[in-house]
Amino acid sequence: MDPRIRQHAATIVNHSVDLQPGENVVISTPSVAEDLAVALHEVVGDIGGVPVYLADSDRADRAYLRAAGADGIETPEHPALYENVDVLIRVRGGQNVTETSDVTPETMAANERAKKPISDIALSKRWCLTQFPCASFAQLAGMSTEAYEDFVWDAIDKDWDAQREHQQRMVDILDPASEIRIKSGDTTDITMSIDGMHTQNDYAEYNLPGGEVFTAPVPDSVEGEVLFDMPLYHQGREVENAHLVFEDGVVVEHSAETNENVLTSVLETDEGARRLGELGIGMNRDIDRFTYNMLFDEKMGDTVHMAVGNAYGDTVGPNRERNESAAHVDMIVDMSEESVIEVDGDVVQRNGRFVFEDEFES
Amino acid sequence: MDPRIRQHAATIVNHSVDLQPGENVVISTPSVAEDLAVALHEVVGDIGGVPVYLADSDRADRAYLRAAGADGIETPEHPALYENVDVLIRVRGGQNVTETSDVTPETMAANERAKKPISDIALSKRWCLTQFPCASFAQLAGMSTEAYEDFVWDAIDKDWDAQREHQQRMVDILDPASEIRIKSGDTTDITMSIDGMHTQNDYAEYNLPGGEVFTAPVPDSVEGEVLFDMPLYHQGREVENAHLVFEDGVVVEHSAETNENVLTSVLETDEGARRLGELGIGMNRDIDRFTYNMLFDEKMGDTVHMAVGNAYGDTVGPNRERNESAAHVDMIVDMSEESVIEVDGDVVQRNGRFVFEDEFES
């Protein structure tokens, strides 16, 4: 086994979820990541944790979803299992990233709704989402499998304490702030309130790799338009140049250059899917290329991302409304050129450089 | 996908477990059987069932068991899941049948004990255990993978109604009977009472393939000795010529020519592991070769098998003691030569031929 796989498992268990003796942990992986599952079981056993191993198969999902159809999908019996576990580890990967490309967007949205009771429980636990560097995701990124392995494991094997300190400077700006304005070129100019919301510092606990700070907008406060000029890969389809117009927090216009129906279906999942649930700022400059994989892309330096749909509970302050939805779809804006982030009227990032960095041009 | 895989899935779902709309079903497979998992998800979705997919990985099990050690193994959180499901489908297979050969027998026995609460729940549901014809099991049988695929799928794709009728004649002999005596050569002469116990007709509901009739001995009634002259493959190790001596139902002497410590560890699992929990008679003549795989071998014509350990609830009559154990290990006696089964003093099988068959020599 590649020694980096054992290192990956140790980082997940010891850093990301900080497993304790006697804790129950659900491990979910695709079959291509069986090596990482083996290494995880080893580390869990060393600590005295108790593992349950769930299979994650896009092929099996596709077969079930097509057979059941949008009207036939019911919530499976994970909830009873998840209520009794302390920690969830989910490893992404597969043999073909377009495996669900012939499941209709309506069926995919119905599946998201059916799974919401499970994801609600899962999100209330300690959890970690990570990536196994398999051939299909290398292909999606246009990379050789070996180069992709280097990319993934280099991004994961990192000094997360230093990254946390770097990001904390942006948390300290955003956490007390009220008004955010994001401008990029002549296609994005959007404002929102984050007054009373909490900004979280992602240093690879819930996402491995980590590398962003994120918060939740006040749901009704979002105004303006945004062009997500970095491609979105969702449900096995590429959505290019998604464009959203917000009024009173709600998407009132939307379009995309490719696969607009995927975007439409996401927005129609439920009421909350037409409002923003997250604003995130990528701060991990070791992720130096776009790989069509949100787990990495949204952490890149020089980007911001916004998610329509569900807001994470720990970003919503007391006495603030939480945007609830079965959907949570992140989309990215390139901030490297002709772009600024303003916080309460002050520019805190220009062309990707933060106010606390030497390269910042005031 | 090989069309026999879809046929296999249909037989499991429609014949073996008879899945109904709205029922929750746990599907557990090794990664090498992902094709069958896909086909199962398709059939389940067609019917309107709701699947949960558990991974079965000998490699992950080995890693956990070695890391945790015999004293560190705890019951995982499957029970909460299993209590809410209607049906369990477990597919056997893997990349290497000796994967757990370097886990100590003591640790394997501790694992059986920790998993007993789960298997107790599972056995109270509708369930099916079947086999995926993978390369490692072909190798164990000394067969090419293609020939092994033919062997497995031929054994599964069968007229189970006709098999049920054939076997019912033996059920009608055993169900009202009291005393059973089994003699083979000069190495096996064992008697037991099945008075008040129920004989079950296995026509591929709980096991696919099926092809045996089985019951439970009255626990304290077993007397005599038996040489299991067909090899036993257990926990990745071959146990040859296991020999047991019973007094008052309890194993008082045991030996084996190879891996005797595996047999010892099984018998030491708990008190019930030193008594018989099952007597079975193989009646499936389409399984025409020994493949070191109990799911097939115990169904062969011309064999009987006995299991030390747990008795199946549906074989134990009212007011009869049920032998309980975390272990259930089947072992086989070749009955093709110099062998008889006597029921209440009458010979019902001689040299593998039943009294109701033309070839029977009275």
Q: Give yes or no for residue A341 having a pLDDT over 80.
A: yes
Interatomic CA distance for residues A287 and A302, integer angstroms: 11
Position B86: which residue type? D
Locate the DSSP E strands across chain A: 24-29, 50-55, 87-92, 126-131, 179-184, 188-193, 200-202, 207-208, 212-215, 223-228, 232-234, 237-239, 242-247, 250-255, 276-282, 303-309, 328-334, 339-343, 346-350, 353-354
Q: Give the sheet arrangement for strand A50-55, strand by strand.
A: A207-208, A126-131, A87-92, A24-29, A50-55, B50-55, B24-29, B87-92, B126-131, B207-208
In sequence order, the β-bridge partners of residue B224 are: B190, B246
CB contact (8 A) between residue A38 and residue B53: no
Closest CA to B335 of B194, B183, B164, B223: B183
Position A182: which residue type? I
In chain A, count of helices (H) and strands (E)? 10, 20
Q: Does B259 touch chain A (CB under 8 A)?
A: no
Q: Give yes or no for residue B253 having a pLDDT over 80.
A: yes
Token pair for residue B12?
């499991």
pLDDT at A337: 94
Distances (CA, A) of B197 to B164, B205, B321: 20, 20, 10
Average pLDDT of A188-216? 96
Q: Does A90 touch chain B (CB under 8 A)?
A: no
Q: Where in chain A is the domain with CATH 3.40.1830.10?
A: 3-156
For every residue of A8-29, DSSP letters joined together read HHHIIIIIIS---TT-EEEEEE
Residue written as tokens 């990956």? A8
Note the pTM of the prediction, 2 decimals: 0.89
Percent of chain B with pLDDT over 90: 87
DSSP element (H, E) containing A123: helix A105-123
Q: Does residue A333 contact residue A228 with C-beta atoms inside 8 Å?
A: yes
CB contact (8 A) between residue B64 and residue A81: no
In sequence order, the β-bridge partners of residue A339 are: A184
Q: Does residue B45 contact residue A74 with C-beta atoms inside 8 Å?
A: no
- Rounded to 10 deg, the angle between the B58-68 and A34-47 helix axes is 20
Q: Does residue A278 contact residue A311 with C-beta atoms inside 8 Å?
A: yes
Judged by CB atoms within 8 Å, which residues 29-88 of A form the interface with B? 29, 31, 34, 37-46, 48, 50-57, 59-68, 72, 74-78, 80-81, 83-85
Give B125-158 pLDDT, tens digit per residue.
Answer: 999 999 999 999 999 999 999 999 999 999 999 9
Best interface-test mutation with B: which of A27, A32, A57, A58 has the largest number of B CBs within 10 A? A57
**CB-nearest partner of B53 from A37, A57, A83:** A57
Would you put residue B94 in left (φ > 0), alpha (ψ -120 to 50) or beta? Answer: left
Q: What is the dotted CATH code of the domain comprising B3-156? A: 3.40.1830.10
Give B9-30 pLDDT, tens digit per residue.
Answer: 999 999 999 999 999 999 999 9
Q: Give yes or no for residue A77 having a pLDDT over 80.
A: no
Interatomic CA distance for residues B336 and B301, integer angstroms: 9
Q: Give yes or no for residue A220 having a pLDDT over 90.
A: yes
Q: Which residue blocks in B131-248 are alpha helix, DSSP H?
A: 135-141, 145-156, 160-174
Q: In this predicted model, which residue has the larger pLDDT, A25 or A81? A: A25
Closest CA to B274 of B293, B256, B247: B247
Average of per-residue pLDDT values in chain B: 94
Distances (CA, A) of B41 to A62, A64, B44, B147, B294: 9, 5, 5, 27, 26
